Structure 1
Amino acid sequence: MTSVRRLAYSTLFPVTTELELSAELVAFLENGGRAILFGEDGTEYATGIIRPDRIRRETADAWRAVTDRARQIAGPAVLALDADISAVHRLHRLTAALPTLSESQAMAEDAFTDRIEAMARDARQLGINLLLSPTADVVAKDNPWLAGRTLGDDIADVSRLVAAYVRGLKRAGIGSTLKHFPGNPVITGLPASQDARVPLKMQELQPYLAPFTAGIDAGADAVFMSPAIFDAVTPPQSGSISPDLIRLLRQELEFSGLVITCDLDHRSTLGSRSLVDIAVEALVAGADLLLVSPAAVPHLDRLARAIERAVEDGRLPLARLQAASAAIDRVSS
């Protein structure tokens, strides 16, 4: 296998909804893959409630066995999951409890940070080193995707909680991820299955950048791009493949960490195009780590080969691929 293809594998971020390494994921790690998201099923995502049978089956020992095996195969790796206050906390009872939203909003900042740190230290003991949290979105109105799944509806208060959450993770030695940049105050549908749009101009989006700025200033390790189509850029396109929005993140917000796409096979991102084309486009746009759903796991080799071909034919500069892989190194080490 070429060194370029191994680099290509390193930029892929497959989701597994089961606490196991399938034969496909083992092959992925052996071929250069270095990131896995331990996700939840659709019902768990929608309700924020982890299935009782999963809770019984997924013990602390089971988590450590899987994360240890992943690192035995891949070496340093990004092993991630969601730990949201108003949505899914994937580890559920296996960590110190997260505060409820009402408790979070009423807490002194130091007390909130302490609660987040306690949860994160427990996650770290299970082999997890990156949380896809906190949510920095603030919902203004009409949001079928994120309504009830954020840290509040006041920009200043959400900014305070986001920064405190990041500080708690940092104290625990675990990475944090701000999602879903550049914010989705209004959205027309569900990005996974619809052509969901954020129908706002850039100047209307600007106030909603504040929680992301607060999280970056607090030391966030990663930023997770929105899958929605943004009318604020020309032509309108998904945040995950938008060079303009990634440039906004890099230049205006001065973020130098890991940029993660949302699921590239979400309808709002994929549209009518092929997943291999979207993967290359996301890297060219400036993304570092490409999230793909469980349905795409059988096609990881095809995606890596497509990225390799894009380097060979000049569509994707080798330096861009190397920079993406280096950004992943900084989080996985």
Structure 2
Amino acid sequence: MYKEIPPYSIANQQLSLQQKVGQLFMLAVFINDTEEAIQEMEQIIQKHHIGALCFFHSRASAATNFEGKKPVVHNEKSYDRLKDLIARYQNAAKYPLLIAMDAEWGLAMRIENTPQYPYAITLGAIQNNDELIFEVGQQIGLDCREAGIHWNLAPVVDINSNPENPVIGYRSFGDDKVQVCAKAEAYVKGMKSAGILNSIKHFPGHGDTATDSHLGLPVIDKSLSELKENELFPFQELIQKGVDSVMVGHLLLPQLDDKEPSTTSFKIITELLRKEMGFEGVIISDALNMHAVSRKYPEKGKLEATVFAAGMDMLCFSENPLEGIEIISNTVSENRIEESFKRIWQLKETIFVKEKNVQRNSTENVSQLNKVLAQNTITELYADSELVQQIKDSSFLNLSLDVEEKNIFSKHLEEAYGQKKWELTTHLSTVKKKLNTHQNVVLALFPPAVKPKNQFGFDAELLAFIQQLIAEKNVLIYLFGNPYVLDILKLTSGSNVVEVYQDFVEFQEEAFLHFKGASIAQGRLPIKLKITQP
């Protein structure tokens, strides 16, 4: 399938110094790119001996379109396009490329019509069953292998201790360091069983910030002892147990380095991560196009050279690879270049010499796994169980905030209990009239967005109405989304919520069984909310 890869001892002699530097670059490529851009990338790969590629959906996707001004055009055949492009780019390379992707919750993070698994925050709700998380990691690994992806830049091991975090949040397993570590370990082991490389991120910890590093530079003003107590804990534990790579995030930690952000900090990358914490594997940068660092280096190639000098091995999403290769080749010692080259080449040997036979999973198997995950994650946050039963037994008002075609939960309630479904966006005036004769309400919430920006996308008027509804009526909420949404609902001491986490069909079906009393909620909220829950 792949071109033959020589062992390191031979490759070290075959490649020139500049070609070795090319192996340290992971360039961004786009599934829905133009033919002109694809041909240009083929030439760069061939001429400059690029070592790795990271696939994104398109140049308008979230990872590259930070301000969200460019519309994302969906392509129903993205998966086939991905496989075709991987074959083309591999054919252009003299030595096999490592193909990477952010597939934290599966290929669906980047590609339409591919299996999607729950977010990390959902998996964080699982109690005493890390085997399930192992299975998620394994299934994602198998999906990656089938597609031609070798390196899943996951999992996130940031401890999400800041509810306002705009970029981590739902991507974290929670706010408890021990649970984050245990669940990340299970996920890593699952991927490894499928022959997929991993990358724990975002070192030294991106959880306690309200700044998005795609747009600005977050500041984590904590001492090393404070970081060791919390943020660094999962990294240190997992390093000792064995991981392929650590991704360094774009963070300013003034008590560790008051001049350089973590990406360009020798103190943080080399002295802390490499020497003090003893990590001997590949250190990879977070995307170098992110504004937290890219805006500081207008001179082409200077950022790449600075990052490498700080101790980085693999430079991800370099926007100026040719200049970067040139500067590094001319300014860095041969020994330093060969240290990183050896680490990258050993990853390639792991993938291309020790390949595993992989069989594609059927959609039915993915669906069955998601069903089991739903059974193990749905979480009750009840103040009054008797009131909950009273609501269920009454002629409750069946309300929802949803995208019509996605909400089967409320439709099931209508069919089973005879309570017509009323969607708030389209029937708000009617709902307000009906509330005059209804004290009990079942409210299914499908948040418009998964990130906290702009109140998770809620319309201000509708959010105010929901808050008033919660204050004045007996409301049982089923939330099919990020649990941090609960912080903006102004819940009272008597509020009753079932957190379902995902809007997948399997999760909605399980939520309906839970409503009927045919399923027991087994999950536990993996975060602390700003509100006080009984």
Same fold (TM over 0.5): yes
- Deviation of 1:56 (Å): 0.4
Matched, 1:66 2:91: no
Measure the CA separation in 2 of the matches of 1:109 and 1:36.
31
Partner of 1:205: 227
Partner of 2:392: none
Matched, 1:12 2:25: yes
Whether the 8 Å contact between 1:14 and 1:36 is mirrored in structure 2 is yes
Q: Does 1 or 2 have the higher relative contact order (CA < 8 Å, sep 6+)?
A: 1
Matched, 1:183 2:200: no
- Deviation of 1:269 (Å): 2.2
Q: For 2:231, what is the secondary structure of its paired residue?
A: helix
Question: Among 100, 119, 132, which residue is 1:111 paired with?
Answer: 132
Question: Among 259, 272, 296, which residue is 1:272 paired with?
Answer: 296
Partner of 1:156: 178
Whether the 8 Å contact between 1:98 and 1:116 is mirrored in structure 2 is no
Supply the AA of the counterpart residue of 1:210: F
Whether the 8 Å contact between 2:159 and 2:208 is mirrored in structure 1 is no
The change in CA–CA distance for 1:124 and 1:83 in structure 2 (over 3 A counts) is: same
Matched, 1:39 2:63: no
- More helix, by proportion: 1
Question: Among 138, 153, 160, which residue is 1:139 paired with?
Answer: 160
- Deviation of 1:329 (Å): 1.2
- Deviation of 1:161 (Å): 0.9
Supply the AA of the counterpart residue of 2:306: E
Question: Among 266, 272, 290, which residue is 1:248 paired with?
Answer: 272
- Deviation of 1:241 (Å): 1.4
The change in CA–CA distance for 1:195 and 1:64 in structure 2 (over 3 A counts) is: closer
- Deviation of 1:35 (Å): 0.6
> Which deviates more, 16-25 or 136-145?
16-25
Q: For 1:80, what is the secondary structure of its paired residue?
A: strand
Whether the 8 Å contact between 1:261 and 1:287 is mirrored in structure 2 is yes
Could you tell me which runs of 5 or more consecutive residues in structure 2 were left unpaired when the two chains were aligned.
1-14, 350-534
The change in CA–CA distance for 1:42 and 1:238 in structure 2 (over 3 A counts) is: farther
Partner of 1:57: 77
The change in CA–CA distance for 1:103 and 1:225 in structure 2 (over 3 A counts) is: closer
Measure the CA separation in 2 of the matches of 1:44 and 1:280.
26
Measure the CA separation in 1 of the matches of 2:280 and 2:141.
23
- Deviation of 1:265 (Å): 3.6
Supply the AA of the counterpart residue of 2:50: G
Q: For 1:180, what is the secondary structure of its paired residue?
A: strand
> Which deviates more, 37-46 or 11-20?
37-46
Which one has the largest radius of gyration? 2
Partner of 2:517: none
Whether the 8 Å contact between 1:167 and 1:218 is mirrored in structure 2 is no
- Deviation of 1:262 (Å): 1.5
Supply the AA of the counterpart residue of 2:220: V
The change in CA–CA distance for 1:120 and 1:55 in structure 2 (over 3 A counts) is: farther
Supply the AA of the counterpart residue of 1:80: A
Supply the AA of the counterpart residue of 1:14: L
Supply the AA of the counterpart residue of 2:44: F
Measure the CA separation in 2 of the matches of 1:130 and 1:232.
33
- Deviation of 1:58 (Å): 1.0
Question: Among 30, 33, 41, which residue is 1:25 paired with?
Answer: 41
Partner of 1:313: none
Residue-by-residue CA offset, 1:26-45 (whole Å, 9 max, x unaligned): 12211210111112456545
Whether the 8 Å contact between 1:140 and 1:186 is mirrored in structure 2 is yes
Partner of 1:258: 282
Partner of 1:102: 122
Measure the CA separation in 1 of the matches of 2:288 and 2:150.
23
> Which deviates more, 117-126 or 106-115?
106-115
- Deviation of 1:16 (Å): 2.1
Map 1:215-230 → 2, pairs under 5 A? 215-230=238-253
Supply the AA of the counterpart residue of 2:168: L
Measure the CA separation in 2 of the matches of 1:251 and 1:135.
22
Measure the CA separation in 1 of the matches of 2:141 and 2:56.
17
The change in CA–CA distance for 1:9 and 1:327 in structure 2 (over 3 A counts) is: same
Matched, 1:281 2:293: no
Whether the 8 Å contact between 1:229 and 1:239 is mirrored in structure 2 is yes
Identity of aligned residues (%): 21
Q: For 1:195, what is the secondary structure of its paired residue?
A: coil
The change in CA–CA distance for 1:18 and 1:91 in structure 2 (over 3 A counts) is: closer
Supply the AA of the counterpart residue of 1:57: K
Supply the AA of the counterpart residue of 1:18: I
Could you tell me which runs of 5 or more consecutive residues in structure 1 were left unpaired when the two chains were aligned.
311-315
Measure the CA separation in 1 of the matches of 2:187 and 2:252.
28
What is the TM-score when the length of structure 2 is the normalising length? 0.55
Whether the 8 Å contact between 2:282 and 2:314 is mirrored in structure 1 is yes
- Deviation of 1:163 (Å): 0.5
Measure the CA separation in 1 of the matches of 2:51 and 2:294.
24
Aligned-CA RMSD value:
2.7
Q: For 1:105, what is the secondary structure of its paired residue?
A: coil
Question: Among 245, 255, 274, which residue is 1:232 paired with?
Answer: 255
The change in CA–CA distance for 1:158 and 1:304 in structure 2 (over 3 A counts) is: same
- Deviation of 1:271 (Å): 4.7
Question: Among 161, 165, 173, which residue is 2:187 paired with?
Answer: 165
Measure the CA separation in 2 of the matches of 1:54 and 1:169.
28
